[in-house]
Structure 1
Amino acid sequence: MRLYETTFITDSQLPEIEIEAEIKRVEDLIKSNGGEIVETQRWGLRRLAYEIEKRRQGYYAHFLYQALPAVPALLDASFKVNEKIMRHLTVVSEINLEERARQIAEGIAPYRAVLPDEPRFGGHGRRDRRSEQEDN
């Protein structure tokens, strides 16, 4: 079994009961196909980077689970026919479960962003270019 992460965004206009029902439905689909839920996170209402279906906000839910490779395909098919799900993404996770369990036991915040020391794409951004030009 592999470790996967799935995040989906539901319509922010849905009642809390329906959002919880969608989360439960995803958990049940994973479990009924031999998967094991490691963690479910409710990220709540968040502003979208761009409008989706004329909505500016969505409710985010995130799942970390172990499953056979067929399960993400089943989730994908399920999300595509479900009008309540606006967007979804599933990736193979690179999280070390032993390290994750230790972090939870120590109370360390999950999924903290780790910023690289150097810029990722070679540039330092517009401000740095201006200051470089002033130096010349």
Structure 2
Amino acid sequence: MNNFYEKMVLLLPTLSEEEVQEAVNKISSVITENGGEILKIDNWGKRKLAYKLNKQNMGYYVLFLFKAPSSAIKKMEQFYRVYDPVFKFMIIKLTKQQIAALPPDIKGIPVEPSEVTPKV
């Protein structure tokens, strides 16, 4: 069974627009090659970081929403550790409540919002 994940990737601010797109394509292929399915990619562009990170003050923020088997996550993490354009990443497994809150244009959601009990 595939789980839903959200992944934020910070790319080096020195990359050109073409290099950013190339990195996004490479990251996307790593997801799909490991049995994942990309639901949405949101490029937030170049932004100032809240604090200096790996000697960087700026970075390109790219958010990926995808489904993948849990075994794929470890392979993705290994890839990011050696892929130079990525200087920070975070992968979060979404809960049923978070999945239910996704926009309706995201296909293949296994949980309907009405099936999720609200937190009290």
TM-score range, shorter chain: 0.7 to 0.9
- Which of residues 96, 100, 103 in structure 1 aligns to 2:102? 100
Q: Give me the whole-angstrom Cα distance separating, in 2, the residues matched to 1:101 and 1:51.
A: 33
1:49 corresponds to which residue? 50
Matches within 5 A, 1:32-43: 32-43=33-44
Secondary structure of the corresponding residue to residue 100 of structure 1: coil
In the superposition, the TM-score normalised over structure 1's length comes to 0.70
Higher helix fraction (1 or 2): 1
Unaligned runs of 5+ in 1: 106-136
Q: Give me the whole-angstrom Cα distance separating, in 1, the residues matched to 2:64 and 2:10.
A: 12
Q: Give me the whole-angstrom Cα distance separating, in 1, the residues matched to 2:35 and 2:55.
A: 37
In the superposition, the TM-score normalised over structure 2's length comes to 0.78
1:70 corresponds to which residue? 71
Residue identity (%): 24
Taking only aligned residues, the RMSD between alpha carbons, in angstroms, comes to 1.6
Deviation at 1:68, TM superposition (A): 0.4
Larger Rg: 1
Unaligned runs of 5+ in 2: 107-120
Q: Give me the whole-angstrom Cα distance separating, in 2, the residues matched to 1:32 and 1:9.
A: 21
Matches within 5 A, 1:1-136: 1-94=2-95, 95-96=98-99, 99-102=101-104, 104=105
Deviations 1:19-47 (A, max 9, x none): 11111111111111211111111011111
How many equivalent pairs are there? 103
Q: Give me the whole-angstrom Cα distance separating, in 1, the residues matched to 2:55 and 2:34.
A: 34
Assess if the C-alpha contact under 8 Å between 2:5 and 2:93 holds in 1.
yes
Deviation at 1:7, TM superposition (A): 0.7
Q: Give me the whole-angstrom Cα distance separating, in 1, the residues matched to 2:21 and 2:90.
A: 19
Secondary structure of the corresponding residue to residue 58 of structure 1: strand
